[in-house]
Structure 1
């Protein structure tokens, strides 16, 4: 495992898993949202596709995303391993609600100075709404990609429960 893509719906724990894999395998981790959002006000980084392509051309990396259509196929083509956090809504929703509530109440700075606000909770692209409404579609899209011959050979690790994820992660990097 040298080029690892961690995928799943918002709130699955992609960033947490990607950071842990990066640490255990000594492979550079790249937070997709931090690359995409250039600064406060949710400004988009115009160089995003070029930056991701440059990183994806390197011999070793871990990315934590499935989103961003501009680079999705590129990452799937270049990855040697996909770690799919395929958790049910009953696992995802409490996680994302707690995370967004904490970020909103504490005014945590995320992704280059951005912050979640109360007003954003009522937008369709808020992580909580997104995780709820896109869960089935995201799962189907990942399932389709896992079996797409364009992305072969690809080592797919599908984790469907938090305990199995923790157990699997505990075995990574130990020989």
Structure 2
């Protein structure tokens, strides 16, 4: 693992099912800093039913990225780009699509969305 100071502000991006959330939680616990899921920021609470207002979403990402220590993870490149200039490390979780799909099937329904592929 890299030295903790390099990971102080880490951006993790990749496909759904690529292990981003688990890695983010692990790093956040190790560094004692908050982890932010871009899905939780983009969508209104309660699932994937309604996207949050765009201005509010952008403000939430900017606020998260303004912190001294954070882990931000997600699929959304548009939102990740906001945090990227402040990141001290970036991790691209590039595992094969078949493995991502297997992970999604294994984990089951999350935040109101099921996977049937």
Equivalenced residue count is 108
**1:46-57 pair list within 5 angstroms:** 46=53, 47-57=56-66
Runs of 4+ in 1 over 4 A off after TM superposition: none
**Cα RMSD (Å) of the superposition?**
2.0
**1:21-100 pair list within 5 angstroms:** 21-40=27-46, 42-46=49-53, 47-69=56-78, 71-99=79-107
Q: Deviations over 1:5-58 (max 9, x none)?
A: 111111101011001100011111112111111134621121111011011111
Unmatched 5+ residue regions in structure 2?
A: 1-6
| Structure-2 separation of matches of 1:21 and 1:117 | 27
What is residue 3 of structure 2 aligned with on the other side? Answer: none
TM-score of the pair, normalised by structure 1: 0.55
Greater share of residues in helix: 1
Unmatched 5+ residue regions in structure 1?
A: 122-127, 129-175
Q: Which has the higher contact order (CA 8 A, sep 6+)?
A: 2
What is residue 5 of structure 1 aligned with on the other side? Answer: 11
What is residue 173 of structure 1 aligned with on the other side? Answer: none
